[in-house]
Chains A and B, each alone.
Chain A
Amino acid sequence: MKEAADPSGLDPYEDGETRLKAQRMGMWLFLATEAMIFAGLFLSLFVIRTLHPEGAAEASSHLKPMVGAGNTAILIIASTLVALSSVAAKDGDERRFITWAGFAGAALLGALFLAIKIGVEYRAEFHEGFIPGAGPAFPIQADGAQLFFNLYFAATALHAVHVLIGVLVLAGAALGVWRRWLKLPDNAPEIEFCGLYWHLVDIIWIFLFPVLYLVG
């Protein structure tokens, strides 16, 4: 008989390996629910583009694809650092530096993404009158253009909240590994789960970028 991982008897799993499998599955289930939240927004966007192709295309042409592409590259590089960190975490203490430095670097890139998204894009869009209920009047007459922009703000702002949470999670994990509050490789799964969340945030942007900025 296998020895219980938790002598108190409160842990429902027979051993650590089974518990880890359940934890990983729980994390993926959570990520699936996150994907479903954004799928609703993508569906709305699809409907607006179907009902008002001209209005949506004209509204989309007022976005800045190069800024969006730059931000996509930032998230891809951040995801790369996170992937390297997660692998290094499994190797244990000898590669601890890579783990926390990778997470810290990714957190900084995430912050840079938010700075560009808010400081450059939202700022310009505010001055052009695209933000609902604030700034100058909405400048485009075409049907559906205003709907497109409302949805653009809903989708990108919800994504920005996820990036912010991701930045805090990555920075917290980096601090934990650096200060040795998290032990490697024992806490490698926690590092992996933080990374999985970040990758999902990256994947959502991978879809948001072409659907909002490029499909005209």
Chain B
Amino acid sequence: MASSIFPAQTAKIAATSAALLALLVLTVAIAEFELGWINIAANLIIALAKAALVAWVFMELSEVKGAIRLFALGVLAWIALMFAFTSADYFFREGI
């Protein structure tokens, strides 16, 4: 059994690695063009996609359930809250 799961897992990891490197090339390529806010949005979306690939495949988040996934999503939720409250101040309050 050990050897039978080897090729599938290895192929999955290799494909993820290739996708990560392709996304890296894409993010550098997009930065070459002056697109204003689209640059920022594209680079952040690509970074999130890369992080999700690393977490899902390399860190085997796809294999675990329950509390561990909750921790992974929880940290995202806390960080989102922190950014939301801070941006609310900087974008909507006068005199900062």
Contacts and interface: CB of A to CB of B under 8 A. Distances in A.
Tell which of B2, B27, B47, B59 has the most Cβ of chain A within 10 Å: B59
Contact of A199 (B14, B44, B59, B82): B59
Interface stretch (A72-80, A118-126, A162-170): A72-80
Interface stretch (A3-11, A86-94, A135-143, A172-180): A86-94
A214 B27 contact: yes
Given A77-B17, A203-B54, A87 B10 contact: yes
Contacts, number: 125
Contacts of A82: 58
A200 B72 CA distance: 11
Contacts of B46: 210
Interface in B65-86: 67-68, 71-72, 74-75, 78-79, 82-83, 86
Contacts of A80: 13-14, 16-17, 58
A196 B63 CA distance: 13
B2 A216 contact: no
B79 A36 contact: yes
Nearest to B64: A24
A124 B79 CA distance: 33
A199 B64 CA distance: 16
Nearest to A80: B17
A80 B20 CA distance: 10
B67 A39 contact: no
A36 B47 contact: no
A91 B6 contact: yes
B68 A214 contact: no
Contact of B83 (A31, A43, A72, A86): A43
Interface in B24-68: 24, 27-28, 31, 39-40, 43-44, 46-47, 50-51, 54-55, 57-60, 64, 67-68
Interface stretch (A44-52, A107-115, A144-152, A153-161): A44-52
A95 B10 CA distance: 13
A202 B5 CA distance: 26
B92 interface: no
Nearest to B34: A216
B68 A43 contact: no
Given A25-B68, A47-B90, A87-B9, A79 B54 contact: yes
Contacts of A206: 47, 50-51, 54
9 contacts: A25-B67, A36-B75, A50-B87, A94-B3, A199-B55, A203-B54, A206-B50, A207-B51, A215-B40
Interface of B: 2-3, 5-6, 9-10, 13-14, 16-17, 20-21, 24, 27-28, 31, 39-40, 43-44, 46-47, 50-51, 54-55, 57-60, 64, 67-68, 71-72, 74-75, 78-79, 82-83, 86-87, 90-91
